[in-house]
Amino acid sequence: MAASQAVFHRESADAPLLAVRDLHTWFALRQWGFLRVGAVHAVDGVSFELARGEAVAFVGESGCGKSSLARTLLGLHRPTRGEVRFDGRSLGELDGHALKAYRARVGYVQQDPYGALPPFMDVRRILAEPLIIHGVRDRAERERRIRAVLEEVRLSPVEESLGKFPHMLSGGQQQRVVIARALILAPALLIADEPVSMLDASVRIEILDLLRGIQARRELTLAFITHDLSTVRHFAERIFVMYAGRVVESAPVDELLDHPRHPYTQALLAAIADPDAANASRLREVPGGEPPSLIHPPAGCRFHPRCPHAMAGLCDRDDPPDFEPRRHHLSACWLHR
Ligand SMILES: Nc1ncnc2c1ncn2[C@@H]1O[C@H](COP(=O)(O)OP(=O)(O)O)[C@@H](O)[C@H]1O
Ligand code: SF4
Ligand SMILES: [Mg+2]
- What are the residues whose beta carbons fall under 8 Å from the beta carbon of 335, sequence distance 6 or more? 261, 263, 309
Nearest ligand 1 atom, CA 27: 4
CA–CA dist 329, 247 (Å, integer): 12
Name the strands in the sheet holding 18-28, side by side, starting at the edge strand that comes first in the sequence.
Answer: 39-50, 18-28, 81-86, 89-90
Confidence of residue 3 (pLDDT cuts 50, 70, 90): very low
Q: Is the pLDDT of residue 57 over 70?
A: yes
Number of residues that make up the chain: 337
CA–CA dist 148, 152 (Å, integer): 6
In this structure, the residues whose C-beta lies within 6 A of any atom of ligand 1 are 27, 40, 42, 60, 62-68, 294
* pLDDT tens digits along 304-321: 999 999 999 999 999 999
Q: Is the pLDDT of residue 2 over 50?
A: no
* pLDDT tens digits along 195-204: 999 999 989 9
Which ligand number lies closest to the CA of residue 64? 1
Q: Name which residue leads in pLDDT, 133 or 275.
A: 133
pTM, to two decimals:
0.91
Q: Is the pLDDT of residue 4 over 70?
A: no
Question: What pLDDT is attached to residue 281?
Answer: 38
The pLDDT of 99-114, averaged and rounded, is 94
* pLDDT tens digits along 18-29: 999 999 999 988
Confidence of residue 216 (pLDDT cuts 50, 70, 90): very high
Question: What pLDDT is attached to residue 231?
Answer: 82
Distance of CA 226 to the CA centre of its chain: 8
Q: Are 208 and 57 in contact (CB under 8 A)?
A: no
Q: Are 23 and 69 in contact (CB under 8 A)?
A: yes
CA–CA dist 53, 284 (Å, integer): 38
The pLDDT of 187-200, averaged and rounded, is 96
User: What DSSP letter does each residue of 230-257 carry, written as one string?
Assistant: GGSTTT-SEEEEEETTEEEEEEEHHHHH
Q: Which helix (DSSP H) or strand (DSSP E) does residue 268 occupy?
A: helix 263-271
Q: Are 227 and 25 in contact (CB under 8 A)?
A: no
Question: What pLDDT is attached to residue 291?
Answer: 86
Nearest alpha carbon to residue 276 among 242, 322, 230, 313:
230
Question: What pLDDT is attached to residue 256?
Answer: 96
Q: Residue 76: phi, psi to the nearest 5?
A: -90, -25
User: What DSSP letter does each residue of 11-26 carry, written as one string?
Assistant: --TTS-SEEEEEEEEE
Nearest alpha carbon to residue 184 among 221, 139, 146, 233:
146
Quote the mean pLDDT of the chain.
Answer: 90
> Counting beta carbons within 10 angstroms of the beta carbon of residue 335, is it exposed (0 to 12), middle (13 to 18) or buried (19 or more)?
middle
Question: What pLDDT is attached to residue 165?
Answer: 98
In this structure, the residues whose C-beta lies within 6 A of any atom of ligand 2 are 262-263, 301, 303-304, 307, 309-311, 315, 320, 333-335
Dist. CA 207 → ligand 3 center (Å): 18
Q: Is the pLDDT of residue 185 over 60?
A: yes
Cα distances (angstroms) measured from residue 24 to each of 88, 124, 211, 251, 269: 20, 38, 29, 22, 27
Least confident piece of the model among 14-18, 74-78, 183-187, 279-283: 279-283
Question: What pLDDT is attached to residue 235?
Answer: 83
Least confident piece of the model among 4-13, 209-218, 228-237, 239-248: 4-13
Q: Is the pLDDT of residue 68 over 80?
A: yes
% of the chain at pLDDT higher than 90: 80
Q: Which of 249, 334, 336 has most ligand 2 atoms within 8 Å of CB, for mutation?
A: 334
The pLDDT of 225-242, averaged and rounded, is 89
Confidence of residue 169 (pLDDT cuts 50, 70, 90): very high
Asked if the peptide bond before residue 113 counts as cis, ω within 30 degrees of 0, the response is: no
Distance of CA 140 to the CA centre of its chain: 34
Dist. CA 10 → ligand 3 center (Å): 30
Which ligand number lies closest to the CA of residue 293? 1
Q: Is the pLDDT of residue 275 over 60?
A: no
Other Cβ atoms within 10 Å of 156 Cβ, number: 12
Confidence of residue 1 (pLDDT cuts 50, 70, 90): very low
The pLDDT of 110-120, averaged and rounded, is 94
Domains in the chain, start-ordered, CATH in brackets? 3-236 (3.40.50.300), 246-337 (no CATH)
3-state secondary structure of 109: strand
